[in-house]
Amino acid sequence: MLLAVGVLLLVACNRVRPHIQVPDVRLGEAAFYPTIEAWTRAPITAGNDVEILLNGDEIVPALLGAVRSACSSGSGGR
């Protein structure tokens, strides 16, 4: 039993994803838009707003707010 738990822990720890750091590009550089599109896997479209969220303290409240907004607007996709 103890051996099984040890193997399970080793396998689980093997799947830790590495920290990803986006290349340092500045707005106005030719590489800015293609780099951001590649790293976010989302196209940049005229008229959209972008807010960079760096960690859980920034991401979670924004995510919950977006979910609440979608629920209250009736756009539940049903």
* Number of compact structural domains in the chain: 1
What is residue 39's predicted lDDT score, i.e. its pLDDT? 84
Q: Is the pLDDT of residue 17 over 80?
A: no
- Residue 62 in domain: yes
Residue of 48, 47, 46, 44 whose CA lies nearest to 36: 44
- Residue 50 in domain: yes
Q: Percent of the chain at pLDDT above 90?
A: 14
Residue of 47, 49, 46, 22 whose CA lies nearest to 36: 22
pTM score of the predicted model: 0.41
- Residue 8 in domain: no
- Residue 55 in domain: yes
Give the pLDDT mean for 6-11: 70
- Residue 64 in domain: yes
What is residue 15's predicted lDDT score, i.e. its pLDDT? 64
Q: Is the pLDDT of residue 14 over 60?
A: yes
Question: Containing domain of residue 56, as a range?
Answer: 20-72
